[in-house]
Amino acid sequence: MADDTPPIGTQVAALAAADPDAPAITCSGQTLTRRDLELSSNRLARAFAERGVGVGDYVTIVLPNSIQWAQSVLAAWKLGATPTPLSARLPDAELEALLDLRPQALIVGRADPRGETPSVPAGFTPDPALSDAELPEVVSPVWKSMASGGSTGRPKLIEAGGDSRFPPRAGYPLGAQESDVNLVSVPLSHNTGFTTFAVGLVQGHHLVLMPRFDPHEFLSLVTRHRVTFLATVPTIMQRLLPVYRANPDAYDLSSIRRFWHLAAPCPPAIKQAWIDLVGPEKVWELYGGTELQALTFISGDQWLSHPGSVGVVVAGEMKVLDDDGNECPPGVSGEIYMRPAPGSPPTYRYIGSTARSRNGWDSLGDLGYFDADGFLYLNDRRVDMFTVGGRNVYPAEIESALCEHPDVLSCLVVGIPDDDLGQVPYAIVQADGLDEAAVIAFLAERIAGYKVPRTVEFTDAPLRDDAGKARRSAVRDDVIARLSRVARPRTR
């Protein structure tokens, strides 16, 4: 990042000085102007400093999406600290594991279960006697540190490669504009939400935060605030469709100029539905990791001519390798590896883990292929793939087929042990008015027989969180344990 770019705290102060009465953040019916946000975060920063927070320190923020969350992250940046946002619903054991990775100066929203790090509670109000004047300019050496890995292994932290001199035009490649009304519907503890917040903050967006996703509220907020920009995940896209279709006249989506989705593969039927609703020129997809080694983009227009693709490489470099490390030709699947452009500085650093790498190229564990035009297609994650009678099965393919059914609200497929075939697909479905026979018959018309689940379990609860993530390995372990108990003979 350019040395002449001021740090985030200074940029926010300049925006407040330029237009103090412009709305900065709205959440749960409360709106802070730019002046309100500037003064309240200055006072909060001084309260944090009284508790020992300084340049280079880490501040763990364990809060739901809220105005306090935004004030706390900004206060950390104003002190030159690094915010580490975590889910407010994180189990104590996982919180402890993350806290053990890096010394923390302060925890916001929750006490340290180990009793080691100072904390302030949710709803904390700083002493009104503390000054709300602008603080001296200071740079956070690491502008964010995100948690990851809890769903597939031991939790880790992913530190950003850059400092808090976050460029105000960072969002322009995403089509963001300074006048945008930006709806944040995903958890701010997830990289999608956090980065969308940061981009909007330095561009002076009116950030509309959802405390928790609700489809009626999402559509109402778009309508009421004339939302122009948003970044969301396929799970949310799927949950919105039945609500919108039930009463389309109640909502107005015409204000949306740029609709991004990322963080998980999007079933083609869901993507096509949103292209039909808002127009292909507005629907864009991004593929890449929190690590940010490389990115692909695809517009809705491009997707219509390359259905199922996640786009062409627009930053860094990517290639697909087979198990022996040889580059795969177009159309042949393998593991996707990526790296920043040669000569670029590192874009991330793991704490608590090491990258899966080959000769300077990193893998996020995704499988896929490039076509002859350079468009990338994803199959699934390596850890999620399983074999049925020696044939590879990708849960995402089965889930995409399930999502074509209008009554399916969410679904998850895992491979479970089978004495004959090694493993077989097992589906868990959240749906209205379907039974196992109907689901199997629906899938039998769309995918090969060996990919059709042998068992379909129904649930009333969403199978992915609001960031689109599922703890697939934990679900698989639970299914196997339950089936084992059923099969186990009774003993006296």
Q: Where in the chain is the domain with CATH 3.30.300.30?
A: 393-487
Which of 136-145, 255-264, 354-363, 388-397 shows the lowest mean pLDDT across its residues? 388-397
Which of 146-155, 172-181, 387-396, 461-470 shows the lowest mean pLDDT across its residues? 146-155
Q: What is the pLDDT of residues 35-56, one digit of tens each?
A: 999 999 999 999 999 999 999 9
Report angle CA 171, 145, 177 to the nearest 5 degrees.
10
Neighbours of 75 (CB within 10 A): 29
Q: What is the pLDDT of residue 3?
A: 66
153/384: higher pLDDT: 384
Averaged over 195-205, what is the pLDDT? 95
Q: What is the pLDDT of residues 327-358, one digit of tens each?
A: 999 999 999 999 999 998 999 999 998 888 89
Q: What is the pLDDT of residues 107-123, one digit of tens each?
A: 999 999 999 999 999 99
What are the φ and ψ backbone dihedral angles of 132, each rounded to 5 degrees?
-110, 15
Q: What percentage of residues in the chain have a pLDDT greater than 90? A: 72
Averaged over 309-334, what is the pLDDT? 95
CA atoms within 13 A on the CB side of 227: 30
CATH node for 8-370: 3.40.50.12780
Q: What is the pLDDT of residues 75-86, one digit of tens each?
A: 999 999 999 999
Query: Can you tell me the distance from the alpha carbon of 176 to that of 199, in angstroms, rounded to the nearest whole number?
Result: 8
| 25: β partners | 32, 207
Mean pLDDT of the chain: 91
482/255: higher pLDDT: 255
106/92: higher pLDDT: 106
Q: What is the pLDDT of residue 384?
A: 83
Averaged over 275-295, what is the pLDDT? 95
State the pLDDT confidence band at 487, using cuts at 50, 70 and 90. low
State the pLDDT confidence band at 383, using cuts at 50, 70 and 90. confident
What residue spans of 226-376 are helical by DSSP H?
234-246, 268-278, 300-305
Does residue 472 register a pLDDT over 70?
yes
**Which structure tokens are listed for 481?**
């344990």
Q: What is the pLDDT of residue 130?
A: 98
Q: What is the pLDDT of residue 418?
A: 85
State the pLDDT confidence band at 149, using cuts at 50, 70 and 90. low
Residue 71 near residue 24 (C-beta atoms within 8 A)? no
Query: Can you tell me the distance from the alpha carbon of 321 to that of 334, in angstroms, rounded to the nearest whole number?
Result: 5
Q: Where in the chain is the domain with CATH 3.40.50.12780?
A: 8-370
Question: Looking at domain 393-487, which CATH architecture does it have?
Answer: 2-Layer Sandwich (3.30)
State the pLDDT confidence band at 154, using cuts at 50, 70 and 90. low
Provide the 8-state DSSP code for 449: G
